[in-house]
A and B are shown apart, each in its own frame.
Chain A
Amino acid sequence: MVHVFKYKEYNYIYDSGSGSLHECDDKTYDYLAYKLGESSAKPALSEAEITSIEGDLKALEDEGLLFKEEVKTHPAKSNEVKALCIHICHDCNLRCRYCFADEGAYHSAREFMSEETAKKAIDFLISNSGNRKVLEVDFFGGEPLMCLQTIKNVVAYARAEAAKVGKKFLFTTTTNALLLNDDAIEFFNAEMENVVLSLDGRKEVHDAIRKTVNGKGSFDYVIGNIKKFVKSRGDKHYYVRGTFTAKNLDFSKDVLFLADNGFDSISMEPVVTDIDDLAIKEEHLPAILKEYENLCDEYLARYERGEGFNFFHFNVDLEGGPCLSKRVSACGAGNEYFSVAPNGDIYPCHQFVGDKKFLMGNVYEGRLNSDIRSTFAENCLFTREKCGDCFAKFICSGGCSANNYHFEGDMNKPYGVTCAMMKKRIECGMHVYARKNALKNGVK
């Protein structure tokens, strides 16, 4: 399908069938928007102008870059497990109000994964990984740094076991940085492919939600640790990752605050919660969509000044992006990616942990519930009917199954509020792509 959109004075045409992005003048935009039914205003164009525009459109169509039929390829069937999210502990040294994980406890007892169970999880991954050479594990919690020694031992074990069978591991850790000392920093820099550090932005925003067990804001405890870590990180991957809620709809200020503090790889996510005063609701959308534009404008202004930073959601790789098979199969949760709870129980992903309806097995058994796995394996972009006429479908892949389930009660029913934010971020990402290209080519 073809989608036209404006970003300030710029007009864009995105063809989801070919994945191509085009820029056009106002007359072409008005003509195409009317033709596609995206605008009811019939443009006043002469016969010659219409002929010229139709000629341009036809030329692109002939090149396969416009009105290209969408391929309905279902994901390749695979039984290979490629990644695990290991919940190394279900306990946390913070008590963040919005925590989807029940402040680290996942609605159950606070507990730590034993080294033996973690090693069993590694064995499970290796033995179920088929021909895949590169395996991935992220250490998640709770707060993983409460179990640093276990993580160190498990990483050493995984590397040794993988080497025996010609495989490799990529590790990620998500942390609140409260215990991010020199020892942890050294270990992370040596072993972690990626580190995700939670920081919500401005001190007052962060402290309002992310509190210590004693009820104090945690900003002052973590900011120095994160700065020290980032300074030591070199060119290795990391993300300083914030969450915004209904309390800080001006979240662009938080992203820019993070950039001003020297963090050049940033992510800012809408909260996933049903807590009434924090939850993102439909009534917040106009402010949020405007805020993404504010962020996009400043992001590009900084880029132009040579002060650019990486904002996760504006990265839309239009040329070297994933293949169609990946785009239709989405994140792979419940089929090639699983979460392991501290007792070894296996769930489709971290957002399903603790929900017994989704319990798929245990690393000590080594088997997976084939019914649940089949359900997740068959879930794909094409099972989400609502996505059929959305321009963003091959970029968002039908959204997060867990979010869909938690908000709409159905993994195949995307949540409208999330969709609206996603579409705006994608349009901003496309605008960023176009403007960066123009700047590289010396065009303002």
Chain B
Amino acid sequence: MIKTIAKPAEKKITGCGECRSTCQSACKTSCTVGNQSCERITREENPEKSAK
């Protein structure tokens, strides 16, 4: 038995560069791109959280 837990959302646009710089998140030493979310998807789902 295999159950799919997660599969990446399809991205209409890639490489737009709108995501935040990884090194500005929290760590400054162990930056992990995969800890970030796509800025576009986040903004489209939560417009109120978009950059001011």
B20 CB to closest chain A CB (Å) equals 6
A339 CB to closest chain B CB (Å) equals 9
- Residues of chain B within 8 A (CB-CB) of A148 are none
Decide: A331 and B17 in contact? CB cutoff 8 A: no
Distance A259 CA – B31 CA, assembled complex (angstroms): 22
Distance A2 CA – B25 CA, assembled complex (angstroms): 29
Cβ-based interface call for A116 (8 A): no
- Using CB atoms, name the residue of chain B closest to A400: B31
Decide: A433 and B6 in contact? CB cutoff 8 A: yes
For chain B, residues 2 to 25, give those with C-beta under 8 angstroms from any C-beta of chain A: 2-9, 11, 13-25
Stretch at the interface among A177-185, A299-307, A310-318, A360-368: A310-318
Most buried by A among B17, B36, B37, B52: B17
- Residues of chain A within 8 A (CB-CB) of B30 are 269-270, 313, 400, 403, 418, 421-422
- Residues of chain B within 8 A (CB-CB) of A82 are 17, 21
- Using CB atoms, name the residue of chain A closest to B13: A323
Distance A174 CA – B25 CA, assembled complex (angstroms): 10
B43 CB to closest chain A CB (Å) equals 10
- Residues of chain B within 8 A (CB-CB) of A429 are 34-35
- Residues of chain A within 8 A (CB-CB) of B33 are 322, 326-327, 330-331, 395-397
Secondary structure dominating the interface of B: loop
Nearest first, the 7 A-B pairs at minimum CB distance are A395-B34, A325-B15, A318-B6, A323-B14, A83-B21, A267-B26, A239-B26
Decide: A24 and B34 in contact? CB cutoff 8 A: no
A10 CB to closest chain B CB (Å) equals 10
Cβ-based interface call for A355 (8 A): no
Decide: B26 and A327 in contact? CB cutoff 8 A: no
Given A80-B17, A322-B38, A327-B34, 4 other A-B contacts at CB below 8 A? A21-B6, A83-B20, A174-B28, A327-B33
11 contacts across the A-B interface (CB closer than 8 A): A83-B23, A170-B20, A312-B26, A317-B36, A320-B9, A322-B33, A326-B36, A332-B22, A349-B23, A351-B29, A395-B32
Distance A394 CA – B32 CA, assembled complex (angstroms): 10
Decide: B20 and A22 in contact? CB cutoff 8 A: no
A318 CB to closest chain B CB (Å) equals 4
Decide: A322 and B28 in contact? CB cutoff 8 A: no
Decide: B41 and A320 in contact? CB cutoff 8 A: yes
Decide: B1 and A24 in contact? CB cutoff 8 A: yes
Cβ-based interface call for A78 (8 A): yes
Decide: B27 and A320 in contact? CB cutoff 8 A: no
Distance A156 CA – B31 CA, assembled complex (angstroms): 29
Interface residue from B16, B29, B37 paired with A403 (Cβ < 8 Å)? B29
Interface residue from A134, A193, A434 paired with B5 (Cβ < 8 Å)? A434
For chain A, residues 195 to 249, give those with C-beta under 8 angstroms from any C-beta of chain B: 196, 239, 241, 243
Cβ-based interface call for A390 (8 A): no
For chain A, residues 7 to 26, give those with C-beta under 8 angstroms from any C-beta of chain B: 12-13, 18-25
Decide: A350 and B28 in contact? CB cutoff 8 A: yes
Cβ-based interface call for A420 (8 A): no
Decide: A22 and B5 in contact? CB cutoff 8 A: yes
Cβ-based interface call for A28 (8 A): yes
- Using CB atoms, name the residue of chain A closest to B44: A320
Most buried by B among A25, A312, A429: A312
- Residues of chain B within 8 A (CB-CB) of A269 are 27-30
Distance A76 CA – B15 CA, assembled complex (angstroms): 6
- Using CB atoms, name the residue of chain A closest to B50: A134
Cβ-based interface call for A57 (8 A): yes
- Using CB atoms, name the residue of chain A closest to B3: A23
- Residues of chain A within 8 A (CB-CB) of B19 are 322, 326
Interface residue from A13, A133, A323, A403 paired with B11 (Cβ < 8 Å)? A323
Distance A417 CA – B1 CA, assembled complex (angstroms): 35
Cβ-based interface call for A319 (8 A): yes
Distance A426 CA – B32 CA, assembled complex (angstroms): 10
- Residues of chain B within 8 A (CB-CB) of A425 are 32
